[in-house]
């Protein structure tokens, strides 16, 4: 079969029609609330073409039929379409704010045998929660060992099963690990050939779990800080508002919410918070 054209002068391996894109967009919106407008057609093709090939198909229409029937392949398609870019210490001002304004009181609580709970929502491959822990542990191995004996836990959740497996492994390319500040990298990251491995003391503090932010949440306890960054940009306004309200419900009074640099609180949710920094909000005590 001759190649069809997805964009001007760009041949494609598989037949991919606008109707196929519309069907996939509807599937992803229903499953994850993510918007994939027609302008994302090239992205969708690039993410799913390897799956079409792996399934031995030649048309996206046939692949759509397959994911309608096959739960395993449906999960693989969703993983491919929802895995997003991240990096260590991304939007570093959030980590600076946390360490300056949230951490001192939380550290004191831990020293008094209290507990601290932090949620990294949409944690992707783990760089965000690991960055936070390395910042808390600091440059002294002894301080990390002290904190490892306390009731400090971070929950890292994501929709993608595959990306969570990578997060649990805590292994990254040397290029990826280079964005960790050297004083922290020298203590909490070990080189293993052409990869960098996060220290077990750091990895053990994070519980990685699969979670769809739009479905029910199993967590019963409240969080002292929630990082939910650069995921709401893919949602429509109604979905953003519902999610932000639920995040506020899950946050302790006085706790901090960190969102992405291009994200904003909905008008109905904003009164529940005080803005205390760039895309940084503190929940108002009730």
Domain locations in the chain as residue ranges: 18-81, 92-283
User: 158 among the known binding-site residues?
Assistant: yes
Q: Is 158 a catalytic residue?
A: yes
Model confidence, pTM = 0.84
CATH code for the part of the protein at 18-81: 1.10.155.10
Q: What is the 3-state secondary structure (H, E, C) of the chain?
A: CCCEEEECCEEECCECCHHHHHHHHHHHHHHHCCCCCHHHHHHHHHHHHHHHHHCCCCEHHHHHHHHHHCHHHHHHHHHHHHCCCCCCCCCHHHHHHHHHHHHHHHHHHHHCCCEEEEEEECCCCCHHHHHHHHHHHCCCHHHHHHHHCCEEEEEEEECCHHHHHHHHHCEEEHHHHCCCCHHHHHHHEEEECCEEEECHHHHCCEEEEECCCCCCCCCCCCEEEEEECCCHHHCCHHHHHHHHHHHHHCEEEEEEEEECCCCCCCCCCHHHEEEEECCEEEECCC
Q: Give the Cα separation of 138 and 183 in Å (integer).
A: 8
Residue 67: is its pLDDT beyond 60?
yes
90 is in an annotated binding site: yes
Q: How many CA atoms lie within 13 A of 83 on its CB side?
A: 19
pLDDT band at 234 (very low <50, low <70, confident <90, very high): confident
Tell me the β-bridge partners of 154.
118, 206
Catalytic one among 15, 47, 185, 205? 47
* For range 168-193, the mean pLDDT: 96
| Mean pLDDT confidence for 182-188 | 98
Residue 140 assigned as binding residue: no
- Is 143 labelled as part of a ligand binding site? no
As a whole number of angstroms, the distance between CA 119 and CA 226 comes to 5
Residue 4 has pLDDT above 70, yes or no: no
Query: What per-residue confidence (pLDDT) applies to 83?
Result: 66
Q: What is the pLDDT of residue 19?
A: 93
Tokens representing 86 are: 């991240």
The residue from 20, 79, 107, 158 that is catalytic is 158
Is-contact 79 162, C-beta < 8 A? yes
Nearest to 135 by CA among 185, 178, 176: 185
Is 168 an annotated catalytic residue?
no
**Residues present in the chain in total:** 286
More confident residue, 231 or 222: 222
pLDDT of residue 84: 67
Q: How far apart are CA 19 and CA 17, in angstroms?
A: 5
Superfamily of domain 92-283: Vaccinia Virus protein VP39 (3.40.50.150)
């Amino acid at each position: 079969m001759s190649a069809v054209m997805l964009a001007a002068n760009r041949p494609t391996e598989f037949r991919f029609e606008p109707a196929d894109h519309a069907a996939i967009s509807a599937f992803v919106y229903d499953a994850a609330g993510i918007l994939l407008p027609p302008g994302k057609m090239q992205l969708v093709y690039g993410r799913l073409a390897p799956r079409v090939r792996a399934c031995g198909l030649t048309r996206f229409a046939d692949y759509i039929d397959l994911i309608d029937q096959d739960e395993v392949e449906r999960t693989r398609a969703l993983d491919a379409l929802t895995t997003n870019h991240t990096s260590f210490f991304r939007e570093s001002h959030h980590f600076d704010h946390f360490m300056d304004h949230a951490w001192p009181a939380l550290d004191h609580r831990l020293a008094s045998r209290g507990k601290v709970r932090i949620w990294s929502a949409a944690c992707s491959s783990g760089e965000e929660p690991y960055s936070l822990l390395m910042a808390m542990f600091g440059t002294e191995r002894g301080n990390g060992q002290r904190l490892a004996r306390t009731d400090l836990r971070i929950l890292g959740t994501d929709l993608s099963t595959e990306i969570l497996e990578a997060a649990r492994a805590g292994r990254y390319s040397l290029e990826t690990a280079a964005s960790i500040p050297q004083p922290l990298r020298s203590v909490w990251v070990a080189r293993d050939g052409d990869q960098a491995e996060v220290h077990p003391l750091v990895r053990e503090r994070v519980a990685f779990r699969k979670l769809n932010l739009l479905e029910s949440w199993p967590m019963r306890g409240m969080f002292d800080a929630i990082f939910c960054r650069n995921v709401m940009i893919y949602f429509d306004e109604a979905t953003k508002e519902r999610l932000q309200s639920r995040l506020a419900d899950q946050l302790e009074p006085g706790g901090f919410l960190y969102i992405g640099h291009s994200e904003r609180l909905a008008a109905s949710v904003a009164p529940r918070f005080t803005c205390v920094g760039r895309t940084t909000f503190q929940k108002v005590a009730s």
